[in-house]
Structure 1
Amino acid sequence: MQLVDNDTFLSRLSSLFQSSKEHGTIWLTHKRLTHDGDDATMDVGDDTREYPCIIRVTDGEDVTFSTHITSGQLNKFLNAYGTLLKSSMNTLRKRDKKREKVRAEKLAARKQGLAEPVPIEGPKRGNGRRKRQRRVKAAQKQDAARQRMEEEKTKV
């Protein structure tokens, strides 16, 4: 991992966005840098120290670099960084609304199926007995599914 200054970081990140415009993935990691050489402890007390931030960038293969941002430089850096991200995010993949619509339709059909009771008709003995047994079993499953849905609604 290569540590660079803030301006170099932004220019290299911009060129990385341009190179991966057609295809590729870029991972950005933001963290508070707390390593002082000692063991890290999380004290909730009145800690007045200011910690720098570290931002890491990788494309998962050969490009990896990072920068440190002190609290005094944070506002200036975040303005430039935010502008760069907004201008680079226009190449994101569009949502697949067709697939979402199919899922929503299936869910609606399932809910409608639970709303309509399964008709139990036919003779208890003789021809049609097995058909009636299947319908009774389907009605029991439907009741169990309704109860599960009601339990889920009460949990939320």
Structure 2
Amino acid sequence: MASPLAQFANARILFKASGARTNGRDGFKVAEGQSYLIQAFLKRRSTPGLLDDRLGLPAVDGMPLQWQGYVINFAPVSSAESAVFHSIDLAGLAFDESMALPAEVRRDSKGTLHVPGHELIEIRFTDKAGKFGSEGIGGIIRGVLGDSLFLEGGQIG
């Protein structure tokens, strides 16, 4: 089922899964894992103004940018495609329309975010369950809108 938010996709996230470790003869190197292009609908979650309003303190430079939204779809991409994920033609990719994150994405996984109008931002996935959890109302929301995303990275100021 396609996401009802597909027409509002405004971000691309590159996630590289960690690969398997080789044997001792190779020095236990980590092989390159699968890369995924995740399309998402995101909004900025906090600004220095929010800190000012919430805590009664002046805004502080160096705060991480926070993003919140929903997964629309994802597709596995090659190493060459991952180098240009922010501008790649989407027509040639085989997307998983389940509105779920790739199974390898864990809390504190790292990735790269591209939102038009911004430079590439190194991010980490900070939460997967969302504010309602994964059962009850959280399960209903997940079934309709997809996995929720909470990302943190870059800096304000």
TM band (smaller chain):
under 0.3
If you compute each CA radius of gyration, which structure gives the higher value, 1 or 2?
Answer: 1
TM-score by length of 2: 0.24
Q: Which has the higher strand share?
A: 2
Larger RCO: Structure 1 or Structure 2 (Cα < 8 Å, ≥ 6 residues apart)?
Answer: 2
TM-score, scaled to structure 1:
0.24
Specify which structure has the higher proportion of helix: 1
